[in-house]
Structure 1
Amino acid sequence: MLLVVTVGATGPAHTFAAATGPAGPTGPTGPAAALRIERSVPQALDPATVARLDAAIRDTMTRAGIPGVNVGLWMPGGDAYVKSFGVADRESRAPMEAGLHLRIGSVTKTFTVTALLQLVDQGRVGLDDPIGRYVDGVPAGDRVTLRQLAAMRSGLFDYTEDETFLKDLSSDPQRTYTPRQLLDIAFRHPSPFSPGAEWQYSNTNTVLIGLVIERVSGQPLHTYLEEKVYEPVGLARTSFPTGSAIPDPHAQGYTAEGVEEGAATVDATGWNPSWAWAAGAMISDLGDLHTWVPALASGRPLLAPETQRARLAFGPTGYPGVSYGLGIMRVNGWIGHNGELPGYETLAVRLPSAEATLVVLVNSDVDYQGEGLSTLIGRAVTQIVTPDNVFSLPAAAQAGTATPSPDTSGSPGSPGTPNSPGSPGPTSDQRARTTR
């Protein structure tokens, strides 16, 4: 980094590229034709840093075969890097653009748990209430608490790990699931550990939280979120779909799920996300997530300070450098969530000590050498702008093979959406991921 400034008079130092005027031309280079399509807004970072970021992102896209990506980095003093690379549609070659809608997978968990915490503030539920008070038929429902569900410490089996479910979803991606059907799949399996004994990413937890919100509020989950979460924060382009459609304009999403290894990817844009529901069904764009992440990290204006402190009581996951709170992960100082759904990956995080926000949206979920694409881009960006706080999920966490296991790309070991500290799935056979 050529020029650096230290941000903050107290606490650890963070290095950022100094704002020295708008960046100069940064036309794409490299062999991939998709990377020649690029859109940006005026940058406040110095030209040398912008050039380094451009090169790092293009190189990552080329190596990992990423069709398109939106990247937004916002820092104190107006420093910003907001740019789109590649294509939103491989067939038409339409360029990726910041205003496009994409599915955000397990980042949905941050919204669902926020809604639960609002009900806590209203005195309508308690974090230490047993889930059995609100939902019937939950294994150990008299002992599993709402806090344990939000913290991924319930011990309930993750329905997205059920082999029959994965086969059914791959064979019919337009299939509609009800929340109760998802729970029935999960509850056929024994609990891997006693409530509170360990940490393990499970989409079952967030589906249960969604049902609690509906029962207590008397509203469908999507309606509650729109009125009580999106509107107060000013999110006009964020939605919780009740069908397969994604609003226009949107990026096409590409997946290898259900495809033989080595075969071409398929377009998963219109696949039904009902299987992810409260754990990963939502849609948003770069601008709305830029607005959402600071609200998530601070709790303002949605939660009382004491409730936000409870949310940010991060506990160990078993993965180095990764901890998890209530519907939120922390990775080397960055807090937020990642998400993955067939065709899409998202990273939405904030570095509170430096007041930096990073959002990455990718229109593919095809892992590269066992790593999620949003993690690859996040690492490439933070290695340059926050070298003391590089966002990087451990390989074991992203593979979802170690114990405890968060989703591969989205849970706080790999928080994401169905495979993230929010989303589900493997790398070769690309199963449905709902946790990162």
Structure 2
Amino acid sequence: MRQRGSSMGRYRTPTVLAAASLLLTALCAGQAPAAAPPGRVDIDPVVAEQLDEAITAAMRKADIPGVGVGLWIDGEDPYVRAFGTSDKATGVPIKTDMHTRIGSVTKTFAITGVLQLVDDGKVRLDAPISTYLDGVPGGERITVRQLADMRSGLYNYTEDPRWQATFKADPPRSWTPQQLLDIAFKHPANFPPGARWEYSNTNTILLGLLVEKVAGQPLHTYLEQNVFEPAGLDATSLPTGAEIASPFVHGYTNFTPDGATVDASTWNPSWGWAAGAMISDLSDLRSWAKTLATGTLLTPATQAQRLDVVDALPGTGYGLGIFNVQGWIGHNGSLPGYGSLVLYLPEAKATLVVLLNTDIGYQGQEPSTLVGEAITKIVTPDRVYTLPAQQDS
């Protein structure tokens, strides 16, 4: 199928994304600012203007309707901006408090749920998934860990041509997790468990079902009680249908039968479920980036296992539902109409969140990749976010 960019959050063939960060240094009254750490540029009005120009230039290049950006460092003034429109039909500007679909950033929440159950002694990372769930082909050889770090070998259901055609023909359709697995399991495994790394949404659908089976409640309920509420996330949810709370950003995609660009904001994301159906906003994702990277909701031992990455792409490691690219920890997301980056740099206590209302690629790159690279070239020149573009196939 057509593959317009490399992204861990892609509903097309996903690979990996990394991203960026920014460090802000405040000016003390009557004093010169402290020197920035090596490789980092402090954000003064001149640099902020450079960022504005770089982001808007990327938007023009890739025809991105709207972007929300947040860059933070503890104790400093933030750089928070919104550029462009949230609704091309009305011209309403995009705002930083709008709800948006976050695609595969959802995986970070679902797998946090799994790891909490590990901490509770109810799940073992190196146990086969057949210990908890029946009906997984080769499930006695695929561990929970291999599902979480994308080494199971299971076919990615969103690569199935018939599924793609069905989805394009009927975007409002509701999908159950079992229907998605049935599609995946019609295909043989791509490789033996543990043989290599390959991103597959099928893995996280299984982990969502694992949470439901072990916790004895729906995934969205478990996440509300054990992840969203403890993390203080008021605008974050896993919808059960196509609903999205107002105000929301309209998202634009050409993942359609004829390639026409349409508004996908009311499409049903149930096809992504634990792998990509969640909703959030800039403020919540700022908080979540640090919670995720520092392991606030997990024991230190489990967080250490989460961050123990396997090789994914050059310069990129993938852990348990989380990536690390040259120190940047987090995840990206992409689904029809939307793109996202949620990242944290622990050594500098720096956070970057980028939210876009398109998934339409530019010269083989994800639009979020283009924006992330533009930002990091300015603010972290020694840690520029790069991701090789993939050719159509």
For normalisation by structure 2, the TM-score amounts to 0.90
Query: 2:36 maps to what in 1?
Result: 6
Query: 1:274 maps to what in 2?
Result: 270
Select 1:290's aligned residue among 271, 282, 286: 286
CA contact (8 A) 1:104 1:340 kept: yes
CA RMSD of aligned residues (A): 1.5
Measured against aligned partners, the alpha-carbon deviations of 1:195-228 in whole angstroms (never above 9, x if no partner) come to 0111000000000000000000011000000110
Q: How far 1:135 sits from its partner (Å)?
A: 1.5
Q: Aligned residues, how many?
A: 362
Query: 1:430 maps to what in 2?
Result: none
Q: How far 1:259 sits from its partner (Å)?
A: 4.7
Measured against aligned partners, the alpha-carbon deviations of 1:103-143 in whole angstroms (never above 9, x if no partner) come to 00000000000000000000001001111112211111001
CA contact (8 A) 1:4 1:16 kept: no
Q: Which runs of 4+ in 1 moved over 2 A?
A: 3-7
Query: 2:381 maps to what in 1?
Result: 387
Q: Any stretches of 5+ residues in structure 1 without a counterpart?
A: 8-12, 18-44, 402-436
Paired with 1:361 and 1:188, the residues of 2 have a C-alpha distance of 35
Task: Please give the secondary structure, in 1, of the residue aligned with 2:123.
Answer: coil
Query: 1:315 maps to what in 2?
Result: 310
CA contact (8 A) 2:364 2:392 kept: no
State the identity as a percent. Answer: 56
Select 1:367's aligned residue among 356, 361, 370: 361
Q: How far 1:16 sits from its partner (Å)?
A: 2.6
Select 1:341's aligned residue among 332, 335, 349: 335
Counterpart AA for 1:306: A
Paired with 2:216 and 2:136, the residues of 1 have a C-alpha distance of 21
CA contact (8 A) 2:169 2:257 kept: no
Task: Please give the secondary structure, in 2, of the residue aligned with 1:392.
Answer: coil
Structure 2 residue 95 is the aligned partner of structure 1 residue 97: yes
Alignment of 1:27-426 (within 5 A): 45-261=43-259, 263=260, 265-300=261-296, 302-317=297-312, 319-396=313-390
For normalisation by structure 1, the TM-score amounts to 0.81
Paired with 2:221 and 2:132, the residues of 1 have a C-alpha distance of 19
Measured against aligned partners, the alpha-carbon deviations of 1:37-59 in whole angstroms (never above 9, x if no partner) come to xxxxxxxx311001100000010
Task: Please give the secondary structure, in 2, of the residue aligned with 1:191.
Answer: coil
Q: Any stretches of 5+ residues in structure 2 without a counterpart?
A: 1-22, 24-32
Q: How far 1:4 sits from its partner (Å)?
A: 8.2
Higher relative contact order (CA 8 A, sep 6+): 2
Task: Please give the secondary structure, in 1, of the residue aligned with 2:355.
Answer: strand
CA contact (8 A) 2:104 2:331 kept: yes
Alpha-carbon distance change, 242 to 400 in structure 1, aligned in 2, over 3 angstroms: farther
Paired with 1:65 and 1:336, the residues of 2 have a C-alpha distance of 26
Counterpart AA for 1:6: A
Paired with 2:109 and 2:35, the residues of 1 have a C-alpha distance of 34
Paired with 1:79 and 1:56, the residues of 2 have a C-alpha distance of 20
Counterpart AA for 1:354: A
CA contact (8 A) 2:363 2:389 kept: no
Q: How far 1:400 sits from its partner (Å)?
A: 8.5
